[in-house]
Copies of this chain bind each other. A is one copy, B any other.
Amino acid sequence: MTGNTFGDIYSITSFGESHGISIGGIINGFPSGIFIDEDFIQKELDRRRPGQSPFATSRNEGDKLEIQSGIFEGKSTGAPIGFIVKNNNQNSKDYSSIKDIYRPSHADYTWDKKYGIRDYRGGGRSSAREHIARVVAGAFAKLFLKQFDIRITAYTYSVGEISIDYCDFSEMNNPISCPNINKAEEMMQLITSCKSENDSVGCVVACIIENLPVGLGEPVFDKFPAYLSHAMMSINAAKGFEIGEGFNLAKMRGSVANDSFYNERGKIRTKTNYSGGTLGGITNGENVDFKVAFKPIPTISKEQNTVDNKGRETIINVQGRHDSCAITRAIPVVEAMSAIVVMDLLLKNRLSKN
């Protein structure tokens, strides 16, 4: 009810601030009897962790998952899965310089006004460290979805003005998981030059979900794209979402945009997939593909005009090491939130028919 739970049947309820004791959560609705590969979950967490590539900040938190409950003799029991990830660096920095000042395009001002109090250390609850709980819940969901061979792959679609011009997943083994090796090089150069200029840059993450069954999505309000877009737009810095051809579809004619059905060896398929794998808000068995736009990371080491918490105008210049692009850290979170959505809708769909 108050925004810290996502999912209905399969759900994650999370807690934790950047510089508190720990980040953690409780997973509910994970069925009993599933073998839990903790190494896989830790690896998913590691993908999100800062310091994994030159394109992310060098703070190395470790981010060691400590499962508290819900697993017995290696298997899920159906009981809630509590977990924590300790914050190791919580006392390492002096935040007094930003204590009373609102960083532009950050959550500082709105959070302070909403709650009347704010844990300013490292962004507190508004920090991207909160995504840790999402990645853990997403990793559990992936373990569940693996049974049905459902695969979720997020990748870099664009950084700044540079977009991929083709998509070849065999080229994706690069630090920004971009399936277009030439563009990947350009993008990484752009990120590096932003860093050296103490600036940051936006990006678009694309994602493809393969092997979905027909029938996922709960009309009329929890249509697949609606629920998925809720998930994506809840990620820090997300500013846009589109599914299939998205905003391009708004420019097209129906005679072009409609995805014709045909019969492929007994299976109903569509010749094109402009819709992005859903019709009437329900998956149609084609791949779901979507994009999420992220704004530039607002923390930059440049002088900016702002105000303090008394409303007095002032200048801020946030020093220290910061990511200059969200791309490497957004990718695992986009996958994680997708996995939660798919698992929740898959479980719900089991109840549709008698």
Contacts and interface: CB of A to CB of B under 8 A. Distances in A.
A81 B15 contact: yes
A293 B13 contact: no
B215 A226 contact: no
Interface stretch (A55-63, A104-112, A175-183): A104-112
A121 B203 CA distance: 44
B240 A243 contact: yes
B353 A33 contact: yes
Contacts of A302: 255
Interface stretch (A23-31, A37-45, A46-54, A166-174): A23-31
A140 interface: no
A300 B241 CA distance: 27
B258 A214 contact: no
A280 B304 CA distance: 18
Given A1-B29, A254-B298, A22 B69 contact: yes
A205 to B, nearest CB: 9
B33 A113 contact: no
Nearest to A214: B113
22 contacts: A1-B29, A4-B80, A6-B221, A9-B351, A17-B79, A23-B69, A33-B353, A76-B117, A110-B217, A111-B280, A111-B282, A220-B234, A221-B230, A229-B229, A233-B241, A239-B242, A239-B249, A249-B296, A254-B299, A254-B324, A260-B305, A351-B351
Given A79-B119, A240-B250, 11 more contacts: A126-B219, A126-B280, A160-B253, A200-B255, A201-B254, A223-B233, A239-B244, A250-B295, A254-B298, A258-B298, A263-B313
